[in-house]
Amino acid sequence: MHTLRFHSIIRRGSVSLILFAIAVLFTSLAPGQPRYRTFSQAELALKKLKDIGKVEFVRARFIFHNDSSYVVNSLHARFNGHIIAIEDSGGFTGYAPAEKKGFTATGRTVAGHDSVAIVLLLNKDKVKAVAEKWWWDTSGTQIGPVYKDLAAASAEGFSRQPNGGNVRDFMYKHEIRRPNGLLVGMPTSTPNVGWIRYMTADRKYFPHTDSSRCFDFIARDNGGTRPFVGELKNPHVRKHNNHLLGELHALKIAVVANDSGVTAPFDSGATPLGDLIYLDAGNLTDPCNNMTIRRIIGVTDSALTFCSRFTASFYFGQDSCIGRINRAFDGPIVASSFKPLRVNGTQTLPPYLHPNPNAVPVQPPTAGYSILDDTPGEFAIRQNYPNPFNPSTTIEFELAEASVVTLKVYNVLGQEVSTLLNREEMEEGVQTIEFNAANIPSGVYFYRIVAFTPADHRQLYQAVRRMMVVR
């Protein structure tokens, strides 16, 4: 295939479309071995794209027939979409832009009553490709009439693909089910240890950049810290910045996605991602050797919670091998289906990951969810839970779109007693925040939310609810 780039008539954004076309080509090659899919922290930190599934460009094959008895040596054509690239030139060696959406092709001859096929990428939002007008000439002399409305012999649409933000939000909306959510660490009655429960999607969960370690402390909003004890819900990176946490969270999302049938491989005979065996023959001291990915996840959960049982070097070792797994199968996200969502694999197994013939097959749901149906919900704030409470409670609210949010607590006199969020940018979707009332007396209080547009601070929503502290 010879691809000629039509630089002089390429519109803004077409370079990314060409790169996407290349990604589609490689992920659609016949797989000799199953291909898998993981996600990097950087991908999962992206703001989700809009209009997923919308057709962005069309690959169209046109057959131009020389109806005359004369030999022609150039073709003029105008199409119903801007030309991004010419994938198959039909033997013409020269292409020059002409008119608004057309070209003049030169450099070969076409005999009378012969045909030439040309394959183009057209920037269009509908799978309908037409040469609106076209004609032949020989050395500047028109041969035959000007033809109109030649439909493409074949046309294939390529849709806007999801990014990591879309996948993250989709997984938390449809596959990581509430109220359990996604746990990192180990819930336990053991005193003075902690764990995390992620219940909603938020791009501020990623990326983590600080050193890999156990769940040792939680950052306070005032700049101090407190011990990491008990369950922490939906923490942003600033609450506990820990590279190992970010890598483990990303890997868990990938395993759930594969178990749910959202990501490849889809073949029931392939080893599920979570059951692959990690064994690096070139590094026999690798701490993850001879463990399945699920086992690696379980050991790391334990290490994050039980700080006193593991050494500092252990955390760095786990971070290294989990990071290798996440990097093994990341790359451009290409969905083979939007309804239900199915994401193609990127790579076959690297030398340090191996099939597991003893794995128990995972049965994904027979009916999947569509990413095209991920329409935003409504603005709402729900009753805190538990209520009454002592000393802490959870406040949950939903944003219909990305907003700047302020959330404050007031007493019955209307005096502000706590600021939980102060003009903080937040993603659309369900959000939760913890309120600790340890420093205020028993009584009735009110929490008020105000949401604004990020760009011009226009108010989108405001609401008040009542709660009670009981000692």
- 185 and 195 in contact (C-beta within 8 Å)? yes
- What strand order describes the sheet that includes 416-426? 416-426, 403-411, 443-452, 459-469
CA pair distance 91, 75, nearest whole angstrom:
12
Collapsed DSSP state (helix, strand, coil) of residue 273: helix
Delineate the domains of the chain, giving CATH numbers in brackets. 4-30+55-159 (2.60.40), 164-338+347-373 (no CATH), 380-469 (2.60.40.2550)
CA pair distance 72, 338, nearest whole angstrom:
45
CA pair distance 39, 330, nearest whole angstrom:
5
Output the CA torsion 246→247→248→250 (10° steps): 80
Residue 282 CB neighbours (<10 A) = 7
In the block, which residue shows the tokens 């694999």?
Answer: 345
- 218 and 234 in contact (C-beta within 8 Å)? no
Residue 5 CB neighbours (<10 A) = 15
- 146 and 133 in contact (C-beta within 8 Å)? yes
Six token digits for residue 81: 């979409």
CA pair distance 115, 268, nearest whole angstrom:
46
Give pTM, 2 decimals: 0.76
CA pair distance 467, 446, nearest whole angstrom:
6
pLDDT at 368: 67
Q: Give me the residues paired with residue 105 across strands.
A: 75, 95
Give the Å distances, CA to CA, from 46 to 41, 163, 168, 204, 291.
9, 7, 9, 9, 31
How does DSSP assign 50-110, residue by residue? Answer: SSTT-EEEEEEEEEEE--SSS-EEEEEEEESSEEEEEEE-TT--EEEEETTTEEEEEEEEE
In eight-state DSSP terms, residue 171 is I
Tell me if the bond preceding 162 is cis, omega within 30° of 0. Answer: no
CA pair distance 149, 133, nearest whole angstrom:
6
- 196 and 37 in contact (C-beta within 8 Å)? no
Six token digits for residue 412: 């019955």
Q: Which one-letter amino acid corresponds to residue 220?
A: R
Output the CA torsion 266→267→272→277 (10° steps): -130
Six token digits for residue 447: 């929490």
Kindly state the helix (H) or strand (E) to which residue 25 belongs, with its residue range.
helix 14-27
Per-residue pLDDT of the chain (471 residues; tens, 9 = 90+): 444 444 333 333 444 444 455 454 444 444 579 999 999 999 999 998 988 999 999 999 999 999 999 999 999 999 999 999 999 999 999 999 887 799 999 999 999 999 999 999 999 889 999 999 999 999 999 999 999 999 999 999 999 999 999 999 999 988 997 678 999 999 999 999 999 999 888 899 999 999 999 999 999 877 889 999 999 989 999 999 999 999 999 999 999 999 999 999 998 889 999 999 999 999 999 999 999 999 999 999 999 999 999 999 999 999 999 999 999 999 999 999 998 999 999 999 999 999 998 887 666 655 567 767 665 568 999 999 899 999 999 898 988 888 999 999 999 999 999 999 999 998 887 788 889 999 999 999 999 999 999 988 999 999 999 999 998
CA pair distance 316, 293, nearest whole angstrom:
17
Give the Å distances, CA to CA, from 406 to 27, 223, 420, 421.
44, 20, 8, 5
Tell me if the bond preceding 265 is cis, omega within 30° of 0. Answer: yes
